[in-house]
Structure 1
Amino acid sequence: MTATHTRPHARAKAGAVRDVLALMLLPVPLIGAAISGSFTGGGTRRWFGGRGESARAEAQAAKDAAAAAFYELDTAQRDLRISVETITAVDSSPQARGAVDGFAALGRRIDEASHQYITAVDAHDLDRDDLEPSVAARAREELNRAKEELTRVKAELDRFAEELGPLLDKAETQLARLAPAVERARAALLSASNALDSVRSSGMRADYLAARLASLAPELTMLNQGAGRHGVTDTLHRADRVLRDAEAVRAEAEQLPGRAAEIDRRLVSLRTRAEALTTRAASVEPVLSELRRRFSLACWQDLQPVPERAARDLRQAGERLKEAAEARDEQRWPDATALLGTVRALLNSTDEAVSAAGDRLQRLNAVADDPRQETERARFAVRDAQRLAMAGRHTPDPRHARPLDDAVARLERAVAGLEGRHPDYWHFLTELEAVRQDAARVVERIREERGSGSG
């Protein structure tokens, strides 16, 4: 205890020094035994009966009680110091700094009470043969006062320790996480290293994974240096980060053989698809020729760029496929995957454009032969929406009736547009599609309103 160094022992009497050292070094039960032995042993000290011995005994009892209080306070201070150090190792909050200041203030109170106790012990040699009753009584009073002060300070210490409970619990929880977190991070790094070694032994370089794993080496060094150097909170965060990154490397390493096989499969599949689309794209020009011959300009003008665009996209797809194959041979897996994604997008675009030309011719042929089927589809959609709008009502809601009336008018105009010499069948089809969409929106709105109870 700090207080024990405030007064040099060299200035104390031999008996008092022996008593204090025995109290600080022996457990409480042994202290009592050591003290009581001084009364029951066969020593050479002369004893005086009567009032003098009674006063001596009372003073000795007060000394024993003060010594026990001193020992309890010393033990409590040591325990509390460990608690405060635990908190400050983890927590740098204002509350934690307040705990340090509070403990320092208590330390000063403990020093004062300890000094009072040691002074009282040093001032009176209760083993003197000629100890007078009045001196023994004064010693008893001073030792009782010292014991009471030690007890009061111990109570303050206990209250302070209780107030630190939440901070200490939080700190101990984090400390309990520390060793397992660091061990998990080390194990993850080892697992990632083993997975990488296994993949490389099969002939795969996996250089980018090796570089990612190597970048974690400084983090491992700091983990090994410990929380004493880098702090508990930072060490916990570092352990979590290393664990996460190492597990990602391990997972990618383990998936690498399957990823390589998937890239090989996609290369074959996309080459086959590119060849098939090249054949299909050659049919676009004859389709456009028929559209030009049989239908008005508005029916096919937007399809004019399709052959050129398809040829360009197919050429680019072929170039990217070649680059993807080279990346795969060089085991640049991310590059190969990205290039194959580009090839797929180019082929999808070409497929849609080529299909659009053939679909356009098919639909225009059908409507030119008999436009009534498309007309009836649109009329049915509008009538279905009108029936729903009138369900349970005498008059329709204007919010529903107006767009349906507009849809009917739009339908009639589209039908009337077919009466010319060169009807725009594509405009007719797109208008009827718009009519069906208008009717569907009204139906959706009515159902939403009735579902929410506002209709």
Structure 2
Amino acid sequence: MDPQGDTARERDVTGTHARPDSRAGATVRDVLALIAFPVVLGAVALPGAFAGGGTRRWFGGRGESVRADAQAAKDAAAAAFYELDTAQRDLRISIETIMAVDSSPGARRAVDDFAALGRRIDEVSNQYINAVDAHDLDRDDLDASVAARARTELAAAKDELVRVKGELDRFEQNLRPLLDTAETQLARLAPAVERARHALLGASTALDAVRASGLRADDLAARLASLGPELTKLNQGAGQHGVPETLQRADRVLRDAEAVRAEAEQLPARAAEIDRRLVSLRTRAQALTTRAGNVDPILSELRRRFTAACWQDLQQVPEQAAVSVRQAEDKLKEAAAARDEQRWADATSRLSTVRALLNSTDEAVSAAGDRLQRLNAVSKDPQQEIQRTRFAIRDAQRLAMSGRTTPDPRHARPLDDCVARLDRAIATLEGRHPDYWHFLTETEAVRRAVAQVVADIREELGHGS
């Protein structure tokens, strides 16, 4: 309702309003007349007076009944007006709650609809107030026709008030989902802000403990300091920054502060882990340097006993190993410097690089020794490798025939190719200087192809079941 409507409705809802000045003047004249002419007025009044005295003129019978009906209509309208006014005030609180939380199109539409309802409420309220102001049911000389008209107008005003109250009730029901969501968010607000503040305190306490142990943790301190402005906005409240924004800010502060706290608490263990890895990787680099020195004798034996195809790809291993170990040692020095300066991320990154270099060097150095061992074994007895491969093929063939009279071409064809490929690999051993490494790589390739066929068959059997 508009301010004028609210002002009008702040008068007694029973309908007893401040009357115009003309009525006040009439009352004063009545009092003055009683003072000026006591005997005459008393004589006139006595014949019509009831027991108990009084000067009110009663027009009994039907006239008094009409007056009573009008008064009842006035009371009913006042009650309807009061109910509508109370409902509107309560609903305005709900709308303000939604406005504080929700800026969605649905919420904006609800605000507009409530404003339109408010204008309708002002109309029917003014109709009621005008009806009350138009008729003074307490007048002594109230005419029965005037009382009847007052009853009709007040009853109509009451009906309009009740009808609009029904519209307001229906609007409130439709508003319930938006209101429930808004109230839920408001209920989350205070706990969310409190959790954020508590998380900031926990992060600060953890950081103080880390610094007390001799670790600077400058990056964590900077991250925690960056949350200061966010805390200021949280303290300013949702009234200034809005409920959704404040909830999001509280969640963000909570998440970031918890991350700082967790990293601060883990920092001593992280420093100890970096120290352990520095020692471990130095030891490993030294061991690899010793092992790399044994690659040259292995290569010499491979050159002496086997064809060039068996060892040519290993020629660069000693040189590459030496280069990789030197690179690893340089990175170890950088990691140690980063550790001393408490640049934890840099130290961890350098150690990861060292580990990768040493892993690749270890594989290359191990490959030379493994090559010599495998070539020695196959040169003495190639049948073991042949039988191992044939067994894999036969096992796959049995699986391909399981439940069939003829194999599926999709499986039979690749298995037949594997048999032919194995036969060709065996044939390479018949020369004066067999290429044992080619033979070994071929048999490995055959077994991989067979394994793929087996996997395909098992997948189809699984789908079929």
Same fold (TM over 0.5): yes
Q: Is the 8 A contact 1:389 1:396 kept in 2?
A: yes
**Could you tell me which residue of structure 2 aligns to residue 282 of structure 1?**
293
Amino acid at match of 1:293: R
Cα distance, 1:229 vs structure 2: 2.2
Match of 1:180 among 182, 191, 194: 191
> 2:88 — aligned with what?
77
How far off is 1:405 after superposition?
1.6
Deviation at 1:59, TM superposition (A): 2.2
Please say if residues 2 and 119 of structure 2, whose CA atoms lie closer than 8 Å, have aligned partners that are also in contact. Answer: no
Q: Which residue of 1 aligns with 2:356?
A: 345
1:368-400 per-position Cα deviation (integer Å, ceiling 9, x unaligned):
122111111111111222222223333222222
Alignment partner of 1:64 is 2:75: yes
Q: Once the 2 structures are TM-superposed, how far is the Cα of residue 5 of structure 1 from its aligned partner?
A: 3.7
Q: Distance in 2 between matches of 1:3 and 1:206?
A: 60
Instruction: Check conservation: 1:47, 1:53, Cα contact below 8 A.
Output: no
Residues 421-430 or 390-399, more deviating? 390-399
Within 2, Cα distance between the matches of 1:235 and 1:320? Answer: 46
Counterpart of 2:272 (choices 245, 261, 270) is 261
Which of residues 389, 407, 412 in structure 2 aligns to 1:378? Answer: 389
How far did residue 337 of structure 1 move?
Answer: 1.1
Match 1:50 to one of 60, 71, 83: 60
Q: What residue in structure 2 maps to residue 103 of structure 1?
A: 114
- Of 327, 331, 339, 1:320 maps to 331
SS in 1 for 2:139: coil
- Is the alpha carbon distance of 1:67 and 1:412 closer, same or farther for their aligned partners in structure 2, counting shifts above 3 Å? same
Superposition deviation, residue 4 in structure 1: 4.8
Alignment-derived partner of residue 217 in structure 2: 206
For the residues of structure 1 that align with 2:298 and 2:129, how far apart are their CA atoms? 112
Q: Which moved more, 1:288-297 or 1:381-390?
A: 381-390
1:189 to 200, 205, 214: 200
Question: Which amino acid counterpart does residue 288 of structure 2 have in structure 1?
Answer: L
- Deviation of 1:2 after TM superposition, in Å, equals 2.9
Residue 421 of structure 2 corresponds to 410
The RMSD of aligned alpha carbons is 2.3
For 1:198 and 1:63, the matched residues in 2 are separated by 76
8 A Cα contact 2:189 2:243, kept in partner = yes
Read off the aligned partner of 1:290 and give its amino acid letter: E
Q: Equivalents in 1 of 2:388, 2:417: separation in Å?
A: 17
- Equivalent residue number for residue 37 of structure 1: none
What whole-Å deviation, never above 9, does each CA across 1:310-364 have from its counterpart, x for those lacking one? 1111111111111111111111111111111111111111110000000001111
Cα deviation per residue 1:63-112 (whole Å; 9 max; x = unaligned)? 21111111111111111111111122222222111111111111111111
Could you tell me how far apart the structure 2 residues matched to 1:451 and 1:6 are? 78
Counterpart Cα distance in 2 of 1:104 and 1:234: 26
Q: Which residue of the partner structure matches residue 373 of structure 2?
A: 362
Q: What is the CA distance between 1:134 and its match in structure 2?
A: 2.5
Residue identity in the other structure for 1:73? L
| Structure 2 SS opposite 1:164 | helix
1:293 is matched with which residue?
A: 304
What CA distance in whole angstroms lies between the structure 1 residues aligned with 2:98 and 2:55? 52
Contact 2:5 2:125 in 1 (8 A): no
Tell me if structure 2 keeps the 8 A contact 1:4–1:114. Answer: no
Q: Which amino acid aligns with 1:86?
A: T
Q: Which residue of 2 aligns with 1:17?
A: 17
- Among candidates 126, 145, 161, match of residue 115 of structure 1: 126
- Alignment of 1:395 with 2:406, yes or no, is yes
Tell whether the 8 Å contact from 1:321 to 1:340 is kept in structure 2 after alignment: yes
Are the equivalent residues in 2 in contact too, given 1:3–1:115 (CA < 8 A)? no
* Counterpart-to-counterpart distance in 2, 1:75 and 1:195: 53
Q: Distance in 1 between matches of 2:85 and 2:116?
A: 15
Matched with 1:138 is: 149
Cα distance in 2 between the residues matched to 1:140 and 1:4: 25
Decide whether the 8 Å contact of 2:8 with 2:129 is kept in 1: no
- Unaligned runs of at least 5 residues, structure 1: 20-41
2:45 paired residue number? none
Q: CA 1:151–1:322 in structure 2 vs 1: closer, same or farther (change >3 Å)?
A: same
The separation in 2 between residues aligned to 1:95 and 1:109, in whole angstroms, is: 21
Q: Structure 1 128/394 Cα, relative in aligned 2: closer, same or farther at 3 Å?
A: closer
Query: What is the rounded CA distance, in whole Å, between the counterparts of 1:77 and 1:122 in structure 2?
Result: 23
Paired residue type of 1:213: L
- Aligned residue type for 1:182: V
Structure 1's 442 and 62: CA in aligned 2 closer, same or farther, altered over 3 A? same
Q: Are 2:141 and 1:127 aligned?
A: no
Q: Corresponding residue for 1:150?
A: 161
CA distance in 1 between partners of 2:7 and 2:55 (Å): 29
Preserved CA contact (<8 Å) 2:204 2:224: yes
Deviation at 1:165, TM superposition (A): 1.4
Partner of 2:252: 241
User: How far did residue 167 of structure 1 move?
Assistant: 1.4
Residue number among 211, 221, 227 corresponding to 2:232 in the alignment: 221
Cα distance 1:152–1:369, how it changes in 2: closer, same or farther (>3 A)?
same
TM-score normalized by structure 2? 0.87
* Contact 1:114/1:150 (<8 A) preserved: yes
Give 2:151's aligned amino acid. Answer: R
Aligned mates of 1:287, 1:43 — CA distance in 2: 139
* Cα distance between partner residues in 2 of 1:218 and 1:297: 71
Is 1:124–1:139's contact at 8 Å kept on the other side of the alignment? yes
The residue identity in structure 2 corresponding to 1:325 is A
Q: Write the letter of the residue equivalent to 2:459.
A: E
- The equivalent of 1:2 in structure 2 is 2
Amino acid at match of 1:2: D
**TM value normalised by structure 1:** 0.89
CA offsets per residue over residues 136-177 of structure 1, 9 Å max, x none? 222222211111111111111111111111111121112211
Query: Counterpart of 2:159 in structure 1: which amino acid?
Result: E
What is the identity percentage for the equivalent residue pairs of Structure 1 and Structure 2?
A: 77
> What does residue 32 of structure 1 align with?
none
What is the alpha-carbon distance in structure 1 between the residues aligned to residue 65 and residue 446 of structure 2? 117
Whole-Å Cα distance in 2 between the matches of residues 7 and 335 of structure 1?
A: 72
Aligned counterparts of 1:121 and 1:395: Cα–Cα separation in 2: 104
- The worse-fitting range, judged by mean Cα deviation, of 220-229 and 275-284 is 220-229
Report the number of matched residues.
430
